[in-house]
Amino acid sequence: MYQDLAPIPIPHRPWTLNGISKDMMVSHYENNYGGAVRTLNAVRKELAALEGGAPGYRVRALKREELSALNSVALHELYFGNLGGDGRVTEPVRAMLEEHFGSHAAWRREFVAAGQSLAGGSGWALLTYARRQKALWIQTATDHTQAAVDATPVLALDMYEHAYHMDFGANAGAYVDAFMRNVDWTAVAERIAAVRADRPLPPEDPSDKTLPSISVEELAAQLAKGEPVQLVDARPRHYISRASDIMEGAVWRDPERLDEWVGEIRAEEPVAVYCAYGFHVGCGVTKALRERGLDARYVRGGLSAWYAAGGARTPRLPGA
Ligand SMILES: [Fe+2]
């Protein structure tokens, strides 16, 4: 049975990166990663609807697009998931880099050179683990269809211009340096440990699993069916004052003043709470509503995931 893939929430806090702007990261997530998710869903829908006897060229074209979108989704999830750290290599990874590349400095030289070699074009620089050879190596790929067989990327550097042009213009070298300052080596170490033990890579989803939640795909399906749901936009006041859009049908509620508006929430109807990216604000409001006996869930990935999945941008009217 065909099922749409939902985008994962942004795995790191995009406003905390050192020298990489939140706006560029969020645009990258919503437009480029979101575009790959939407393409993958659309292509798979077309593949599922193909009649027997469809011409070979049509099937080949769709399968090529499916591979490209599938790899783009996976590589972007690895890329977003290996950012948000302080760039300091953890000891177990340092030892592995020394073992496979001679020294940490030699590894860094080769990886940075691989990234910079793609400047002005597009592609990925990847630290990859070859499972059969049990060895780390650095791969470059100039598009999304160059997956290495039997190899798992554990550190992904996006060298498409959309990943850096907004902040760095043509200065790809400065972007690579900024990327290196933000690598989350703990996440990379967990991936290496998983792939060496023949386990799947850890999921990048940072959502709070202790609270009931809803994906943007599930929410869209509920709204499309006309099921009753109260949509609460719980972005902080300083954030909403600059925001020009909102989810259609949502009402903004100040997360700091929950006691003032909670009485207006109808107890008999479920509540979906979203914030900008699905981190602590939306979760905090959801928790507080549940403590008051309301059937509240938070929207995984927040408004950004809604846009990444192709959700409409509705202009926010004054006072909404
Ligand atoms: Fe990208």
User: Which residue stretches of the chain have pLDDT < 70?
Assistant: 1-2, 318-320
Cα of 220 to ligand 1 centre, how many Å? 25
| Run of H or E including 266 | none
| Run of H or E including 231 | strand 230-233
Cα of 127 to ligand 1 centre, how many Å? 17
| Long-range contacts formed by 127-133: CB under 8 A, 24+ apart | 127/153, 127/154, 127/155, 127/188, 128/152, 128/153, 128/154, 129/154, 129/192, 129/195, 129/196, 131/195, 131/198
Residue-range domain boundaries for the chain: 14-196, 213-315
Q: Which pLDDT does position 202 carry in this prediction?
A: 87
Cα of 191 to ligand 1 centre, how many Å? 20
Superfamily classification of domain 213-315:
Rhodanese-like domain (3.40.250.10)
Q: Find out whether 285 and 273 touch, Cβ atoms under 8 Å.
A: yes
pLDDT in tens, 218-254: 999 999 999 999 999 999 998 888 888 999 889 999 9
Q: Find out whether 9 and 301 touch, Cβ atoms under 8 Å.
A: yes
Question: Which tokens hold the place of 108?
Answer: 């860094």
Cα of 65 to ligand 1 centre, how many Å? 16
Q: Which pLDDT does position 150 carry in this prediction?
A: 85
Provide the β-strand partners of residue 232.
251, 273
Q: Which pLDDT does position 212 carry in this prediction?
A: 94
Q: Which pLDDT does position 107 carry in this prediction?
A: 97
Distance CA 276, CA 236 (A): 9
Cα of 154 to ligand 1 centre, how many Å? 16
Please tell me if the domain spanning 14-196 has the same topology as the one spanning 213-315.
Answer: no
pLDDT in tens, 69-112: 999 999 999 999 999 999 999 999 999 999 999 999 999 999 99
Q: Which pLDDT does position 317 carry in this prediction?
A: 73
> At 132, which amino acid appears?
R
Q: pTM for the whole thing?
A: 0.91
Cα of 215 to ligand 1 centre, how many Å? 22
Distance CA 158, CA 136 (A): 19
Cα of 261 to ligand 1 centre, how many Å? 40
Q: Which pLDDT does position 113 carry in this prediction?
A: 98
Cα of 81 to ligand 1 centre, how many Å? 13
SS3 273: strand
Cα of 134 to ligand 1 centre, how many Å? 28
Q: What is the DSSP secondary-structure string of 190-220?
A: HHHHHHHTTPPPPP-----TTS-EE-HHHHH
Cα of 33 to ligand 1 centre, how many Å? 6
Give me the architecture of the 14-196 domain, per CATH: 3-Layer(bab) Sandwich (3.55)
Cα of 264 to ligand 1 centre, how many Å? 42
Q: Which pLDDT does position 2 carry in this prediction?
A: 57
Distance CA 159, CA 114 (A): 10
Q: Which pLDDT does position 318 carry in this prediction?
A: 63
Question: Smallest Cα–Cα separation from 160: which of 75, 64, 84?
Answer: 75
- Ramachandran angles phi, psi of 231, nearest 5°: -95, 120
